[in-house]
Amino acid sequence: MKLSSLVATLSLACGLASFAQASPPLPSMGASPDGTSVSGLSSGAFMAVQYQVAYSASVTGAGIVAGGPYYCAAGLLTNVAICMGMIPLFPPNPNLMLMAAKDFASDGRIDPLSNLQNDRVYVFSGTKDTVVYQAAVNATVAFFKAAGVPDANLVYVKTVPSGHALLTPAFGNSCGANAAPYISHCTVAKKSYDQPGAIFTQIYGPLNPPFKTRTGQLLTFNQREFADASTSMADDAYVYVPASCAKGASCKVHVAFHGCNQSAAMVKDDFYGKSSYNDWADSNNIIMLYPQVNASQALNNPQGCWDWYGYTGANYAFKSGPQLKAIHAMIERLTSPSSGSVATAH
């Protein structure tokens, strides 16, 4: 065989191997565009706030676990410690964030803030959290109230002696831990505290109890079609599709943003598979979207955090921000008419 033919053959083989290894695309599911909601822990909570504010016209509510207010860092890494409540007597100033958000809305870079007046919001800060302190989370609550979220639509849970973690009833560290995988279990009023359930109840109202045995599919999909590697977003992400949604039931979409050091590359399926999100989603017709961000030294993102301080560019907190835009495109895919097929199960 000639060298040129051998090279061509090897190139084709490598290309076919690469193609074979690529995850399938995110399926279109025909989900309802109404009722879309978001939640997250830590950097994921900051990201959930960013998405809720930037795309407020299409978001009905949010769950914020240990996260600060919108545009808190103002694109400056030097502001991160303030935004995490780490500077004594110098908490984030929610009024400055609100002023910035009003300017962005007037320029059309984010949706009108008036949309937030109908949102339902759950906010949480553990009393033993030594990563994002309550001073930062207090500012988040103040921001939402100043932006027009009525007191009746906002719940702030701040007396549970938990560390920096998502709280789930049957998995994770002891309550006060501030350690990987940043998922813990706590007892409140003699019951295991189920944070995903509390978030969904605040956003959607009374729910069916979670299924004890899951009936849906946890799917891996190709995230690269929505965001290139320069965004720090991973090649693959995950979506949980309840059986009812796969069969054509009217379903909502909820996006759960993992925290720093909590992507699948770092904790495998602990966040997207072992928390109780999918149990509640299964019994209440909610499609769960789990986008993923990986660590990137080149982007000054060594812990795999969502961009709430500007490492992807000055527009990171706007609708045009690369990560926000990617999430929006994923939601649009899930709410577009069903293709009649789903991806391969994870």
pLDDT at 298: 86
Distance CA 314, CA 74 (A): 9
Q: Is the pLDDT of residue 1 over 60?
A: no
Residues 6+ apart with CB under 8 A from 200: 63, 207, 254, 280, 284, 286
Segment 121-136, tens digit of pLDDT:
999 999 999 999 999 9
Q: Catalytic: 42?
A: yes
pTM of the complete model: 0.93
Q: What's the mean pLDDT in 5-19?
A: 39
Q: What's the mean pLDDT in 302-323?
A: 98
Catalytic residue among 119, 129, 194, 307: 129
Distance CA 222, CA 236 (A): 5
Q: Is the pLDDT of residue 5 over 80?
A: no
Percent of the chain at pLDDT exceeding 90? 90
Distance CA 60, CA 32 (A): 12
Distance CA 54, CA 319 (A): 6
Q: What's the mean pLDDT in 199-227?
A: 97
pLDDT at 10: 34
pLDDT at 338: 82
Mean pLDDT, the chain, integer: 93
Which residue, among 249, 245, 227, 242, has the nearest Cα to 307 in the 3D structure? Answer: 227
Please calculate the CA angle 254-163-134 and round it to the nearest 5 degrees. Answer: 80
pLDDT at 11: 40
Q: Is the pLDDT of residue 13 over 60?
A: no
pLDDT at 341: 54
Question: Using the 8-state DSSP alphabet, how is residue 236 labeled?
Answer: E
pLDDT at 293: 98
pLDDT at 12: 38
Q: Is the pLDDT of residue 7 over 60?
A: no
Task: pLDDT band for 8, please (50, 70, 90 cuts).
Answer: very low
For every residue of 25-86, DSSP letters joined together read PPPP----STT-EEEEETHHHHHHHHHHHHTGGG--EEEEES---TTSSTT-GGGHHHHTT-
Catalytic residue among 164, 185, 258, 328: 164
Q: Is the pLDDT of residue 313 over 50?
A: yes
pLDDT at 22: 83
Q: Catalytic: 129?
A: yes
Task: pLDDT band for 235, please (50, 70, 90 cuts).
Answer: very high
Percent of the chain at pLDDT exceeding 70? 92
HSE-CB for 295 with a 13 A CA cutoff: 10
First to last CA, the chain: 41
Segment 285-305, tens digit of pLDDT:
999 999 999 999 989 999 999
Task: pLDDT band for 342, please (50, 70, 90 cuts).
Answer: low
Segment 81-121, tens digit of pLDDT:
999 999 999 999 999 999 999 999 999 999 999 999 999 99
Which residue, among 320, 321, 344, 342, has the nearest Cα to 333 in the 3D structure? Answer: 342
Catalytic residue among 42, 43, 263, 276: 42
